[in-house]
Amino acid sequence: MPHRTHRSCTLNQKNTFIAHETPIPFPEDSNYLEVGAALGVVFKEHVTNVSVEEAWGTILGFTIVNDLCIPHDNMHRPAVKYNARDGYCPIGPWIVDRDDAPNPDQVVIRVYVNDELQQTGHTKQLVRNVRQLISDVSAFLSFNPGDVLLVGTPENRPLIQHGDTVSIEIEGIGKLTNTTVSLKEGVR
The per-residue pLDDT for range 40-68, each reduced to its tens digit, is 999 999 999 999 999 999 999 999 999 99
Residue 13 predicted with pLDDT over 80: no
Report the run of H or E that residue 160 belongs to, with start and end.
strand 159-160
pTM, two decimals, is 0.88
152: closest CA among 111, 116, 122, 112?
Answer: 122
15: amino acid identity, one letter: N
Of 187 and 98, the one with more pLDDT: 98
- Please give the Cα distance from 33 to 30 (Å, whole number): 8
The per-residue pLDDT for range 148-165, each reduced to its tens digit, is 999 988 778 999 999 999
Of 52 and 80, the one with more pLDDT: 52
Indicate the range of 14-28, 35-49, 110-124 predicted with least confidence: 14-28
Q: Are 169 and 120 in contact (CB under 8 A)?
A: no
CA 183, 169, 100, 12: dihedral to nearest 10 degrees?
10
- Please give the Cα distance from 4 to 24 (Å, whole number): 29
pLDDT for res 1: 35
Q: What Cα–Cα distance (Å) separates residue 170 from each residue in 11, 30, 42, 107, 179?
A: 20, 28, 15, 7, 18
- Please give the Cα distance from 179 to 182 (Å, whole number): 10
Q: Are 40 and 32 in contact (CB under 8 A)?
A: no
